[in-house]
Structure formats: structure tokens, C-alpha cells
Amino acid sequence: MADFTLLTGSAPLLVSLPHDGVEIPVEIAESMRPEAIRVPDTDWHVARLYEFAHGLGASVLVPRWSRYVIDLNRPPDGAPLYPGKAETSLCPTQSFAGGPLYKAGAEPDAAEIAARRQRYWQPYHDALSAELDRLHSRYPRVLLWEGHSIRSRVPRLFDGVLPDLNLGSADGLSCGMRVQGAIARVLAAQGTYSFVINGRFKGGYITRHYGQPDQGVHALQLELAQHTYMDEDTFVWNAARAARLQAVLGALLDAGLAAVQ
């Protein structure tokens, strides 16, 4: 099996879902604790949530491997995204709750991290970069949409309850204001979900690295509170909640597409 699935589209839109993967290679799983094998910190069901996007003409990129193998949305040198705040690393050794992922003494060392970066991180980024180049060769402006989700309460990472929809543009650096403004208007017009722009989640490595609005690539990250479409305790998909959310997601992507064309 491939390390990722890429559905190529015809519109100037790439939806990247770097934390949707749930698989762990056997040789890595053998060094992990049983509770880690459940990959509880997955962005559960986001590929299913964004299935409609390909019908809009979007390209959709979905990884095979869990973020516990390597985090595709972290810088390759492991530099922090939010200095001074708790966050997960390139090769996480702790869960979001702070529990150890590996058996004692089995944590990946520098050589193992470098090997995983080459084996698992690089192919996803090669595919992402190549697809952006393909789309950009056809269109003067392209939108890269980073789809993420997380439990609404993760005390180690943020205080209180996360807003339902968390849009990030690296404080406006990864996306032009015309594009961000069009999407912000959709957020403001809907009355179902709470939202914030450039709050706790401003966009990870992919948003910050690939978002080059001056060169025609606009990148945004949307971090969803998982209770908007699933049960956060059992990880079970909730069809009714998901359908309501998909209507809003569709409007957001439509607005983004219109703004870059």
C-alpha cells in the first residue's frame, strides 16, 4: 500500500488532511504501549468529513500513517510551532494527555527520527508540493486547505473548551486578506458554531511553509472541535452532526474557491 492517497482534482483547491492516518508499522508498534496503538489523538474521520470536497473539484491528500509515527504537520527540524506553549513534537513520545506512548527506554532516538523523517514525512510533502505545483501551473492562485480536528477539551494544550471552528492563517501571513475575509464572512453569517480566527491554532508547519500569498498560494488551517461531528469519548461518527457541519464546510470551501479565482 502507498503511504498516502491523492485524489487529483480540476479546481485550484488542495485539501490536505495530515492527521487522518491511523496505521502504525509493526516494527514501531512493537515498541509502543498498548494504549498508544489505539492512536487516540487522531483527527478522527476528517477524510470522511471532507469526502464532498472532491465533488467541488478539489484535490484531496490523505496519509496512511498515524501522527504517532511522525507528525506531518511539524517542521522537519523539530522546531516548536508555539514557543513557550505545550505542543506535540515531530516524533511524539507523549499523548495529548501527557501519557507516554513508548515502553520505557524505547523512545525514538535522533537516528530513528531522521530515518522516519525520510521514510514517512518526506513522501507526503513531496506529493503535497508536487500537487500544488500542478495546480499552480494551471491557475494563478491556489488555495491549500488544511483540515484538522481535536477534542474540545485538552487541558495540556489549551485552557477551557475550544471553539467549534478554529481558522488559522499564521496571523495573516499564509493567506491574502481577500481570501481570508471571504471565508470569515461565511463564519460570521452562520449561527450554528462558535468560531475564532488565529486563536490557539494559527496553522501548523504546512500552513506556514506552503502558504505564500505573494506567489499565489493561499493556505488556511481549520481545526474542528470533534464534538461537532462525532462522539469524543468513543470516536464514533455522528451522521446528523456531520451533515450539519458539512453544509458549513462546503460553504467555506466555496467561498475560498471563489476568492482565488
Report the 3 state secondary structure along 85-97: CCCCCCCCCECCC
Query: How far is the C-alpha of 229 from the C-alpha of 237, rounded, in Å?
Result: 6
Per-residue pLDDT of the chain (261 residues; tens, 9 = 90+): 799 999 999 999 999 999 999 999 999 999 999 999 999 999 999 999 999 999 999 999 999 999 999 999 999 999 988 888 878 899 999 999 999 999 999 999 999 999 999 999 999 999 999 999 999 999 999 999 999 999 999 999 999 999 999 999 999 999 999 999 999 999 999 999 999 999 999 999 999 999 999 999 999 999 999 999 999 999 999 999 999 999 999 999 999 999 999
pLDDT value of residue 85: 83
What is the residue extent of each domain of the chain?
A: 4-260
Residues in a beta bridge with 224: 149, 165
pLDDT value of residue 86: 78
Strands 165-168 and 217-225: antiparallel
- The amino acid sitting at 178 is R
Query: How far is the C-alpha of 44 from the C-alpha of 233, rounded, in Å?
Result: 12
- CATH code that applies to domain 4-260: 3.40.630.40
Query: How far is the C-alpha of 136 from the C-alpha of 115, rounded, in Å?
Result: 31
pLDDT value of residue 84: 83
pLDDT value of residue 87: 83
3-state helix, strand, coil in the chain (%, to 5): 35, 20, 45
Q: What is the pTM of this model?
A: 0.97
Query: How far is the C-alpha of 28 from the C-alpha of 127, rounded, in Å?
Result: 24
Give me 67's grid cell.
501522527
pLDDT value of residue 88: 87
